[in-house]
Amino acid sequence: MDILQRLSEELSIKLPQIEATVKLLDEGNTVPFISRYRKEVTGGLDDTQLRTLCDRLNYLRNLEEKKQDVKNLIEAQGLLTPELVEAIDAAETVTEVDDIYRPFRPKRKTRASVAKEKGLEPLALLILEQKEEYSPSIEEAAESFTDTEKGVESAAEAIAGAKDIIAEMISDNADYRREIRRLTFMNGTITSKQAGEGESVYEQYYDFSEAVKAVPPHRVLAMNRGEKEEMLKVDIKVDSDIILNYLFHMAITNYKSSAFRYIASAICDSYDRLIAPSIEREIRSTLFDDASESAIKLFSENLKNLLMQAPIKGKTVLGYDPGYRTGCKLAVVDKTGMVLDTAVIYPTKPHERIPQSKRIVLDLIRKYDIDIVSIGNGTASAESELFIAETLKECPRDTKYIIVSESGASVYSASKQGAEEFPDFDVTQRSAVSIARRLQDPLAELVKIDPKAIGVGQYQHDMKQARLDEALSGVVEDCVNSVGVDLNTASYSLLSYIAGINTTAAKNIVKYRDENGEFKSRSAVKKVPRIGDKAYQQCAGFLRVPGSKEILDNTGVHPESYEAAKALMAEFGYTAADVCGGLKTLRREVTAKGSALVAEKLGIGEPTLMDIVGELEKPGRDIRDSLTAPVLRDKVIEIQDLEPGMIMKGTVRNVIDFGAFVDIGVHQDGLVHISEICDKFIKHPSEKLSVGDIVTVKIKSVDVKKKRIGLTMKDL
């Protein structure tokens, strides 16, 4: 297999691009670095394309390794033929390779292996000759295989053993299995029945069936979970006549042969006992793998949109972690994210010390000029919102509040990192800080939390965790590098996602910073242990040093392009001092002169030129600043206040296969079903909605008892 050619065909990317990109990857370059600073080499492949290429490259290389292993194993048995080599080389999936290897794989004791031990294989081969007439007859020939010492008491037992051998031979035929798998997938039905007793969230699957080829990923994962929890019994059913007709057509060469009845019996037994259960397991495994990949892709997209939400900069925030018995924890965080003060209030049951709690909150607002109260959406958040809304009415300052998702805040609070960052705080105090900071800078705070705990996926705990972790880590890495980090303020969690910097190196950076003070330039990071030339090449462009004497240190211009950037400025009469305010007319000037000519003169590619121009236009910019800011509130709405027809603003909290959940400020996210997103047909909600989107919705239905809110985005 020419792996690079296949990648080119599968991904619709030109072969030279594939070859150049794979070379970069094999040299140890990271995806963010290649995507951002090697556009001329890759032809402008973005990080998503690069990660898809990486995944597929690894799969195909593993497939080639698997093929070679199988050849070696068969060769060791002295059974490798040119035909087998050709079949193995032509296999396109690991499953096909496994099918070919099946007859040669060492087996545990089976009915066929027992029959072979009894010396019945020659009888099986005789039956498979399918002569029209046998002389002596099959039954007479079977008599010669009787042997009481071997446990063959009669001709009938000998024939039964021979049929077991034939059944296993049919089951082990790679061509048969491939076609049966296809026929089952195309014609089969996946069914689920109630297994456990009582009501459950799986009631819609208590008597459910759907074509295997049409079942959507989220249903596969739901049924799998229901089966795992012993609430469902899931099967794949197919009309056996479809399969048996195929096997009869392939395996029987002479219907007039006296061996026909024995081979027909062996075929039926082979399918019922060996093939059908195995194929069902394989198809369900494939359905699960495909559903997992679909869910991982959706989770990754949701996570990216969540991490890239617009930060609320320059605001002092009061983080509010709601609670009942142990009170509500408060943390005041200044505009830079530093914790200024903490407190505990008891405005909720069973204490309900409302006047005292109001006084504490108002004192904090006055003392620290708090702009926003960030309330976690967990336990007691409804009562806390009501309390804060009433309190703010008595506040002379125009302070707003917002409900934020606290998914994962408790995970961070109880983590080793949380303890390292705030050793003197208890778990709930750390949670209050996290709730405040994730409003100020979602990316910087959420990277401290295991992505699986952030709550923007579906069935994430049912997937292959290694694959999920790999995919989500890639998303976080891409987000962090696309934004960049301040080398002098970033936590080691944030730094560890920068290209070329691992956790150890990130901790070394923070330690060096603590011991030696702020970094004065990008290049100073090379003094840190574990940051060599290769690591610096990968990470430098993503690090920002706002206080550096070199203005380019606070841009996305890579140090390897500093000379070109300065030559560009000189070409159009600009100095380093001019860059501070942004070279607003530079793009127009470059375009007027001809970007190709300018790039050629500078000795760089056009993509690199235009990236430099973009950075010089807005030095130190944050790409998230152009996104829609979160919705701040100043009054409370309860689910009981909702009525069909009401128009509301909301924030998309999660996008799933069948719709999207939208926070409309009532402590219960409403569901916009895929059919209610727009008038046109869409295959998936992600075509129209992303996590963090601010949308206008209309209340369609409200069930206060079940806390269900149906929303629509149509007819607005």
For position 338, which CATH number holds? 3.30.420.140
- Does a structural domain hold residue 127? no
Asked which of 440, 473, 494 is the last residue of a domain, the reply is 440
- β-partners of residue 129 are none
Q: Are residues 432 and 518 in the same domain?
A: no
- Does a structural domain hold residue 126? no
CA geometry: angle 283, 285, 286, nearest 5 deg = 65
Closest listed residue to residue 462, CA positions, set 291, 235, 296, 225: 225
- Does a structural domain hold residue 614? yes
Q: Are residues 414 and 523 in the same domain?
A: no
At residue 630, does pLDDT exceed 80? no
Asked which of 440, 458, 485 is the last residue of a domain, the reply is 440
Q: Provide the pLDDT for residue 634.
A: 65
- Whole-Å CA distances, 589 to 550, 574, 600, 603, 604: 24, 12, 16, 18, 17
Domain that holds residue 26: 3-104
Q: Are residues 622 and 686 in the same domain?
A: no
- Whole-Å CA distances, 152 to 121, 144, 168: 13, 10, 19
Q: Are residues 20 and 91 in the same domain?
A: yes
Q: Are residues 659 and 577 in the same domain?
A: no
Q: Provide the pLDDT for residue 49.
A: 95
- Does a structural domain hold residue 594? yes
Q: Are residues 321 and 433 in the same domain?
A: yes
Q: Are residues 663 and 586 in the same domain?
A: no
Could you read off the pLDDT of 261-292 as tens digits, one per residue? Answer: 999 999 999 999 999 999 999 999 999 999 99
| End-to-end C-alpha distance for the chain, whole angstroms | 54
Closest listed residue to residue 639, CA positions, set 660, 667, 663, 662: 667
At residue 1, does pLDDT exceed 70? no
Q: Exposed, middle or buried: residue 691 (CB in 10 Å: 0-12, 13-18, 19+)?
A: buried
- Does a structural domain hold residue 679? yes
Q: Are residues 570 and 668 in the same domain?
A: no
- Does a structural domain hold residue 434? yes
Q: Are residues 27 and 72 in the same domain?
A: yes
Q: Are residues 618 and 649 in the same domain?
A: no
Q: Are residues 598 and 654 in the same domain?
A: no
Q: How many domains does the chain have?
A: 4
Closest listed residue to residue 713, CA positions, set 705, 703, 682: 682
At residue 406, does pLDDT exceed 90? no
- Does a structural domain hold residue 209? no
Write b or e for each residue in 527-552: b if 16 or more Cβ atoms lie within 10 A of its Cβ, otherwise e. ebeebeeebbbbbbbbbbbeebebbb
Got the DSSP string for 605-645?
-HHHHHHHHHHHHSTT--GGGGSPPPPPBSS---GGG--TT
At residue 516, does pLDDT exceed 90? yes
Could you read off the pLDDT of 444-497 as tens digits, one per residue? Answer: 999 998 888 887 777 777 888 888 889 999 999 999 999 999 999 999 999 999
Q: CATH number, domain at 562?
A: 1.10.150.310
- Does a structural domain hold residue 232? no
Q: CATH number, domain at 705?
A: 2.40.50.140
Contact between residue 150 and residue 118 where contact means Cβ atoms under 8 Å apart: yes
CA–CA gap between residue 583 and residue 575 (Å, rounded): 10
Asked which of 83, 104, 125 is the last residue of a domain, the reply is 104
Could you read off the pLDDT of 174-206 as tens digits, one per residue? Answer: 999 999 999 999 999 999 999 988 888 899 999
Half-sphere exposure of 559 (CA within 13 A, CB side): 18
Q: Are residues 421 and 352 in the same domain?
A: yes
Mean pLDDT calculated for residue range 634-659: 85
